[in-house]
């Protein structure tokens, strides 16, 4: 898929991996609709970028942002071609804590509502419009693409990541059936599973946990950089044969069982 003069929705696009994706798309002359609770940096919003302040757990807010994005694309002539679902939250809680209290149900519900149900809702609402797109020129006649953001925790969840790993594992599992569902509409679906990346989430890690994680890295022996995530998004968008897969960004590393 060409990126120039196409429109993409990026949830969680105001910071971290989402922001790097927005910056990549803007540099590629695409139009971007950012859906986030917090505004992006001032230098991001401009003729190519719209910001919609929403709570990804509220369906009505998602619907309004998508409708306004579609109306915007009609003005620019840049059809909505893709969604990058990078909105997410991390949570640390063991199933039974040190006081023998069970995992809080409200925390479980919140993590699922943001990471899993939020992604599902944005995807299905955007697809209502994307399936009506004219086909891209070329042999494949592509109409669009959905990118899900999973995690290495979908494969090797650590202690305290029960809720987080459940959501990221579900997103990984969704990629193939979604791709098969949408094949008749010529829309691709791919997931990305980053390992440890520099982000607002990892910046909050305790120093002991950070040292432990860095000690288990293989090569390169560092946290991934958001620009490397964005480069992967660009490759997926442009390579039509990437479909139904989960792409691991791990630098050959696997998350340890214990911190």
- Cα angle 175, 178, 182 (rounded to 5 degrees) comes to 135
Secondary structure of the chain: what % helix, strand, coil (to 5)?
40, 20, 40
- Using an 8 Å Cβ cutoff, are 3 and 29 in contact? yes
The candidate with the shortest Cα–Cα distance to 150, out of 166, 137, 161, is 166
- 164: annotated active-site residue: yes
Q: Tokens 């998602």 sit at which residue?
A: 62
Task: Give me the catalytic one of 31, 164, 219, 241.
Answer: 164
DSSP 51-114: EEE--TT-HHHHHHHHHHHHHHHHHHT--EEEEEE-------B-SB-TTSPBPPHHHHHHHIII
Helix (H) or strand (E) holding 191: strand 187-194
Q: Give the integer Cα–Cα distance in Å for 31 and 28.
A: 9
Sequence-ordered list of residues with C-beta below 8 angstroms from that of 15, at least 6 positions apart, any chain: 36, 38, 40, 199, 200
- Please give the positions annotated as active site: 164
């Amino acid at each position: 898929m060409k990126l120039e003069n196409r429109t993409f929705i990026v949830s969680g696009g105001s910071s971290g991996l989402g922001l790097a994706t927005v910056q990549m798309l803007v540099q590629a002359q695409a139009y971007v609709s950012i859906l986030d609770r917090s505004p992006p940096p001032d230098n991001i919003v401009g003729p190519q970028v719209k910001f919609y302040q929403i709570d990804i757990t509220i369906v009505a807010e998602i619907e309004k942002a998508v409708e306004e994005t579609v109306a915007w694309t009609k003005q620019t002539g840049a059809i909505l071609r893709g969604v990058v679902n990078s909105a997410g939250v991390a949570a640390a809680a063991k199933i039974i804590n040190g006081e023998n209290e069970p995992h809080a149900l409200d925390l479980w519900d919140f993590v699922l509502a943001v990471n899993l149900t939020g992604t599902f809702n944005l995807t299905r609402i955007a697809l209502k419009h994307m399936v009506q797109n004219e086909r891209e020129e070329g042999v494949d006649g592509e109409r669009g693409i959905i990118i899900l953001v999973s995690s290495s925790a979908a494969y090797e969840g650590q202690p305290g990541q029960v809720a987080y790993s459940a959501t990221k594992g579900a997103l990984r599992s969704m990629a193939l059936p979604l791709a098969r569902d949408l094949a008749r509409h010529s829309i691709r679906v791919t997931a990305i599973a980053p390992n440890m990346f520099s982000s607002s989430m990892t910046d909050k890690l305790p120093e002991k946990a950070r040292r432990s994680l860095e000690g288990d890295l293989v090569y390169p022996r560092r946290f991934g950089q958001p620009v490397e995530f964005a480069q992967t998004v660009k490759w997926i968008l442009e390579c039509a044969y990437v479909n139904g897969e989960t792409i691991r960004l791990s630098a050959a590393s696997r998350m340890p069982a214990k911190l």
